Structure 1
Amino acid sequence: MKKLLLIFILTSLLFSCRTQQDVLYLQNIDNIDFSKENYQSPEIQVGDVLTIMVSAYDEDLAKPFNLGGNNTTGIRQGTSELSSTSYLVDSEGYIEYPMLGSIQVAGKTRKELAEDLKNRISNYIKDPMVNIRIVNFEVTMLGEFNSQGVVKSASERLNIFEAIANSGGMSFYAIRDSVLIIRSENGKRKHDYVNLHDANIMNSEYYYLKQNDILYALPTKSRATEFNTRPLTSTLTVIGFITAIITLFR
């Protein structure tokens, strides 16, 4: 019995042993050139929810362009309240916009869409201002994060470490040099693995996340071993209990 327990303990220690190098992020950061930031505004996708606010010097003229949509909320600017209306991008990549009709928005950035709307609305009012936000920007965190689930962001400028922090960090058992990212772009899915030990991630296209990205932190072999040895642990517990009972009634 003692030999069996000793073998089990030594095996557990062997598989659970991890070094500092296994858990540190950005290990070579002193050798990386960060002179250029690799950020690109995400493109609007099918299923996105956009808030669009149109304003002008004469707010009464702008009101017809802030009606309709899926929901309307008030936003205070100075002493006046402006309307912000949300629009769901349909399966074809369009929204139905008041006064302008059906407009294709998928594949455009917020800046590109704002410029497009300004040009269209300029036919009706002078010098319109258009503000657009993606309000359902979120990413999904799976696997060895301390808090799995959906991370929602008020900003579309969300980097991978912010998302990890919002998930409670990575568990001790997470493989940090091979984190899977699944991304949808232009109706197609692609995937890649990123190494969080390597500071070059900050120059990668995956450093800034895009809406609906899925991150999966794979478990180490010791994590899998932990699950596999649970039946053995239960068996040893039962054996220990029976042994104690026999010893007690001798």
Structure 2
Amino acid sequence: MKKIIVFAIIASLFASCIPNKDLVYLQNKGTNSSAIEVTQEASKPYRVQTNDIITISIKALDQKLVDMFNPSESGSTETSQQGLYFKGFTVDDHGNIRIPVLGELNVLGFTLDEIRQKVEKQLLDEYFKAEANIFVTVKLAGLRYTINGEIGSPGTNVLYQDRATIMEAIANSGDITITGNRKEVQIIRKFPHGFETHSIDLTDAKSMNSPYFYIQPNDYIIVKPLKQKSWGTGTTGVQTVATIVSALSLVTTAILLSKNL
């Protein structure tokens, strides 16, 4: 009986404990080198899609001449998501935005730099001369993403950066819990033809070469649970032993009580 109990404890330890290799990010798997080679091909300029929010700022030597092209300002430097939503330009279902005075401008599929060039060209062609020194800035109104599953703080977050990796998004959301599956983080991404789903192994350093390592606006990230969570025996050796000991104590107590009846 003692051998059976010891065997059960050892088997449970091996089966339920989460190994360290499943918790460490960006490991050099299959190589002894400490260097990580990262290609830049995965980080391509983002092309604007429907429902994106972009901000456009137009400046000139005489700022009063271009104030009519800028959204009305309230005098504050509010950079909250709510402020950007109301002051920014939302890309409609046809891929257009409406700029004061300039009217509708199609931006679907264009990079931010291409949109800047389009706005500058229209301003110089229709309203100003080169001597006005028109200066246009086009930015995304933050990288908005939603993350759910085994994460410290699930929900929708915004990173006010031009570029951000999935590692930054996860860190900004409280990190993956100990029962989260870092080897199969799921990303649902919107494309002009629809949604695509892709999985990325964040325990492997090669994931930095993935086109999904850099997040895009409106990405939906899902962190699946490990099997150990559903087993409920604990995530560490101490927790597992405590669970087994508690179970054995209950069984022993039940047997002793039944004998006394």
| Cα distance in 2 for residues equivalent to 1:35 and 1:91 | 34
SS in 1 for 2:169: helix
Asked if the contact 2:200–2:207 (Cα under 8 Å) also holds between the matched residues in 1, the reply is: yes
Asked if the contact 1:48–1:136 (Cα under 8 Å) also holds between the matched residues in 2, the reply is: no
Alpha-carbon deviations, 1:57-110, whole Å to 9, x = none? 111211121146xxx35578xxxxxxx942222122211112221111121121
Amino acid at match of 1:198: D
TM-score, length of structure 2 as denominator length: 0.75
Distance 1:115 1:73, change over 3 A: farther
Distance 1:85 1:124, change over 3 A: farther
Is the strand fraction higher in 1 or 2?
1
Tell me if 1:178 matches 2:180.
Answer: no
SS in 1 for 2:66: helix
The equivalent residue for 1:79 is none
Asked if the contact 1:15–1:221 (Cα under 8 Å) also holds between the matched residues in 2, the reply is: no
Asked if the contact 1:178–1:218 (Cα under 8 Å) also holds between the matched residues in 2, the reply is: yes
Asked if the contact 2:142–2:161 (Cα under 8 Å) also holds between the matched residues in 1, the reply is: no
Distance 1:75 1:108, change over 3 A: farther
Asked if the contact 1:73–1:85 (Cα under 8 Å) also holds between the matched residues in 2, the reply is: no
- Long gaps (5+) in structure 2: 78-85, 234-243
| Cα distance in 1 for residues equivalent to 2:118 and 2:76 | 23
Q: Which has the higher contact order (CA 8 A, sep 6+)?
A: 2
CA RMSD across the alignment = 3.5
What is the identity percentage for the equivalent residue pairs of Structure 1 and Structure 2? 30
Tell me if 1:99 matches 2:101.
Answer: yes
The equivalent residue for 2:45 is 41
Number of aligned residue pairs: 234
The equivalent residue for 1:80 is none
TM-score, length of structure 1 as denominator length: 0.78
Alignment of 1:20-39 (within 5 A): 20-28=20-28, 30-34=34-38, 36=40, 38-39=42-43
The equivalent residue for 1:50 is 54
- Long gaps (5+) in structure 1: 77-83, 228-232
In the TM superposition, residue 32 of structure 1 has moved relative to its aligned partner by 3.1
Asked if the contact 1:177–1:197 (Cα under 8 Å) also holds between the matched residues in 2, the reply is: yes
Asked if the contact 2:55–2:139 (Cα under 8 Å) also holds between the matched residues in 1, the reply is: yes
Amino acid at match of 1:189: F
Amino acid at match of 2:191: E
